[in-house]
Structure 1
Amino acid sequence: MTEENRPPDSEDPDGPAGGLDRAKLLAAHLRSIADESAEETGRPTVMVLAFEGWNDAGGAASAAVRSVAHALDADLVEKLTEEEYYDFQFSRPKVVNNSGHREIIWPATTILRATPPRGEFDVLFVHGVEPSFRWQAYTADLLTKAAEHEVTAVVLMGALLADVPHTRPIPTSFSSEDSQLRALLDIDEPTYEGPTGIVGVLSHTAHQAGVPAVSLWAAVPHYVGQAPSPKAQLALIRKLEELLGLSLDTHEAEEIAEDAAAWERGVDDLAEDDEEIADYVKRLEEATDTTNLPEASGEAIAEEFERYLKRRKPPEK
């Protein structure tokens, strides 16, 4: 069983680190282990990464990172464009028309920085195409960039195909190889064994290098696994907001939520027109409902209401 079809472990939102407390706990922990130069800034810097390819079912993880970076007005820091990382027959460059001028956009890894006015962290957002070659050198390159920007923790985001229904909340899960983070944030130790992608390599290598790493995964219904997958994208965004104490601009959040609702309606229509798919979805729903998903708990509902209140703009005077 590969990471692309292994359902994520469920989480207990009633644990001691549930809700937005995770952000404060993580920030305090990172300050306690930061070196003197990082302490001077007052806020730890966290690197959030996602990659198009094998670890990105439905394009959910890479879309989530791009959306959050855009919502926080992240500025471009640099791009990694080394040709030796890519097979251009697999990750082909694209020809685009830019204001009347044709240009070629080559596969690259983009690094952006955001400094949210409110929050516990500065954030580096990293997204690009999973490299084809020299993964160890690529990983070392990214971790070197992390060190240059005084990153004190990394968050790896991914999405996998799983036997879950599109009509229920998208399952998400946190995990970490770092025992201190697991105890602090009340998250699981990864148990997967088998072929891995660049997300798994980066997570393990960061841990081996002494950089605290957290993995965040969402499960995408395998029968509608093609991109886009806005419902999984939204689920990842909400969990990232929780982990880092972020809050997207109201318009941005509403737009993604509308896309997710439209996506679900579209899949509903597909199921109505295909009896076999409808029966399969019904079986998945029954199996899901019997497991008492934590996403349906009163605690989760309360947290969602708190997010809604936080996003509301103050009334104009």
Structure 2
Amino acid sequence: MFDPTDLYRLSGDVPELSDPVLLYHFEGFVDAGGAGRLAVGHLLAELENRVVATFDVDRLLDYRSRRPIMTFDTDRWVDCESPELVVRLAHDTTGTPFLVMSGPEPDREWELFTEAVGTLATRLKVGKLVTVHGIPMAAPHTRPLGVTAHGTKPELVSGPGSPFGKIQVPGSAAALIELRLGARGHDALGYAVHVPHYLAQAEYPRAAVTALEAVTRSTGLVFPMENLRDAADKTTAEIEEQIVASEELSTAIKGLEQQYDAFTAGAEHENLMAEPTPMPTGDELAAQFERFLAERDESDS
């Protein structure tokens, strides 16, 4: 039997904590709008933090499926951007300590990795594990972003009910952690932010704002949000600029608004993924937005 603690090493002095939150997000699974990636990246950029545990990526990753970037200079290799999957200790704006686990999603040994996270959570006396990511939905950006909450206990989940019934989807390491550790008595929950499907491939800071606000409501942690909200406002202004300039986009957005409003009013729609009225697909809308943003970048340079 393999020892799960062999998958990570502790760094320096292990802090003595009391029921800290462990916020986690792995890159590689569905994350529409970069909701989870932007949320975690924002916190690590805004808050002082230090690494307390490092996972063995040589065992967990398939380098041939996502090759690290190496730098060649004239006649020699000079650098390799080695991936990191780590747990960091940070403090929110009130001084409350919490943990952040981030990095690439493991390619292999998911069950052993989940056990390793469990032993680490016990070692660090974690009180609650929380994950966030984005999922594409047929909803307009002009309406509040929905959030599907899920957890290991009913009392951990608050807010509107899920728009989904019982469904089967491709698995993720983040979901497996919630499933397995919840079965062992840990409190774990997650938030899937509903990102407009036409913005799923773009960076959409508003989704990250929504994710962190959900984390705050469930944990009491207070995060610095000004810069992230400014980025969200700027992105929204750019989107509105394009819509005003395009009759086709304006019509499509109005159609989505009508569909969304009917759904939230209780009309009999199966779910927000349905598209009962003719309109451009999410890919077509996304392509138009990407062209617009690319043209803006070129004009600004």
Instruction: Give the TM-score normalised by the residue count of structure 1.
Output: 0.68
Answering whether residue 30 of structure 2 is matched by residue 55 of structure 1, we say: yes
Check conservation: 2:57, 2:83, Cα contact below 8 A: no
For residue 148 of structure 2, the aligned residue among 165, 173, 181 is: 173
User: 1:55/1:264 Cα in 2 relative to 1: closer, same or farther (>3 Å)?
Assistant: same
User: 1:277/1:187 Cα in 2 relative to 1: closer, same or farther (>3 Å)?
Assistant: closer
Q: Residue in 1 aligned with 2:82?
A: 106
Check conservation: 1:60, 1:227, Cα contact below 8 A: no
1:131 and 1:67 mapped to 2: Cα distance?
22
Which amino acid in 2 is paired with 1:232?
A
User: 1:268/1:192 Cα in 2 relative to 1: closer, same or farther (>3 Å)?
Assistant: same
1:263 and 1:117 mapped to 2: Cα distance?
25
Check conservation: 2:135, 2:194, Cα contact below 8 A: yes
2:127 aligned counterpart, secondary structure? strand
Q: CA deviation at 1:214?
A: 0.9
Q: Where do 5+ consecutive residues of structure 2 fail to align?
A: 1-15, 266-301
For residue 110 of structure 2, the aligned residue among 124, 131, 135 is: 135
Q: Residue in 2 aligned with 1:122?
A: 97
Per-residue Cα deviation, 1:215-234 (whole angstroms, up to 9, x for no partner) = 11101111121242111011
Q: Where do 5+ consecutive residues of structure 1 fail to align?
A: 1-39, 294-317
1:47 and 1:148 mapped to 2: Cα distance?
12
User: 1:278/1:117 Cα in 2 relative to 1: closer, same or farther (>3 Å)?
Assistant: closer
For residue 266 of structure 1, the aligned residue among 234, 238, 247 is: 238
What count of residue pairs does the alignment treat as equivalent? 244
Q: CA deviation at 1:103?
A: 2.7
Q: Residue in 2 aligned with 1:151?
A: 126
Q: Residue in 1 aligned with 2:259?
A: 287
Q: Tell me whether 261-270 or 213-222 shows the greater mean CA deviation.
A: 261-270
Q: Residue in 1 aligned with 2:4?
A: none
2:71 and 2:211 mapped to 1: Cα distance?
30
Check conservation: 2:71, 2:78, Cα contact below 8 A: yes
1:58 and 1:264 mapped to 2: Cα distance?
13
1:132 and 1:88 mapped to 2: Cα distance?
9
Q: Tell me whether 166-175 or 268-277 shows the greater mean CA deviation.
A: 268-277
Q: Residue in 1 aligned with 2:50?
A: 75
Check conservation: 1:66, 1:127, Cα contact below 8 A: no
For residue 277 of structure 1, the aligned residue among 240, 243, 249 is: 249
Which amino acid in 2 is paired with 1:219?
H
Per-residue Cα deviation, 1:197-238 (whole angstroms, up to 9, x for no partner) = 222111111111211111111011111212421110111111
Instruction: Give the TM-score normalised by the residue count of structure 2.
Output: 0.72
Check conservation: 2:136, 2:200, Cα contact below 8 A: yes
Check conservation: 1:52, 1:59, Cα contact below 8 A: no
Q: Relative CO higher for 1 or 2, CA cutoff 8 Å, sep ≥ 6?
A: 1
Q: CA deviation at 1:84?
A: 2.6
1:151 aligned counterpart, secondary structure? coil
1:259 and 1:127 mapped to 2: Cα distance?
22
